[in-house]
Amino acid sequence: ISEISAKSNILCKDKHVLCLTDTTEYNYNSLQHKLKEYELGRISNNKSLGIFAHPVLIVDAEDLMPLGFADINLWTRDPNLPTKHVRKIDQQPIKKKESYKWITSLKNTNKTITTAKTKTLIADREGDLYHLFNESLGGKTEIISRARHDRRLLDEEDSLYQYLEKKS
């Protein structure tokens, strides 16, 4: 990925770029009889064979032309991993959660895409993480995320959902 992100960085010079990111999975369950489990891993419900991918696609904000990738995270799950409830995932530090991929992607994007005038990370509801917003406070990358949590707003008495309801 370092060569891809280096070339992408050159194309981003002085541009406002959108950093589009989401998780996808490559499911090879139908090929299970041809593939050895140790070559891949478990995804989804820990019963399917495959790979998770969390890429950051860089797009020119003006003409929406793809410029490359800033980062790509790949992983699988251990098939013997206990459920989230057994592991008490809500009590785990963010670095031990799969959702840390959002923060890793932001950090890696900020390291690899340095020539852009402005960077805007676009995330789905899974990216609505306090830790992600906190990581962006250095001002290197703006974040747009679909809301998953009804957060308190700075300098407002209303929560996010209440505020939006009044504005509509």
What count of other Cβ atoms lies within 10 Å of the Cβ of residue 20? 16
User: How confident is the model over 83-134, as pLDDT tens digits?
Assistant: 777 778 788 888 988 899 999 999 999 999 999 999 999 999 999 998 898 8
Long-range residue pairs from 47-51, CB within 8 A, at least 24 positions apart, any chain: 50/25, 50/26, 50/76, 51/25, 51/26, 51/75, 51/76
- Cα atoms in the 13 Å half-sphere on the side-chain side of 145: 23
User: How confident is the model over 49-88, as pLDDT tens digits?
Assistant: 888 999 999 999 999 999 999 999 998 887 777 777 777 8
In DSSP terms, 75 is beta-bridged to: 52
pTM over 0.75: yes
Distance CA 43, CA 120 (A): 29
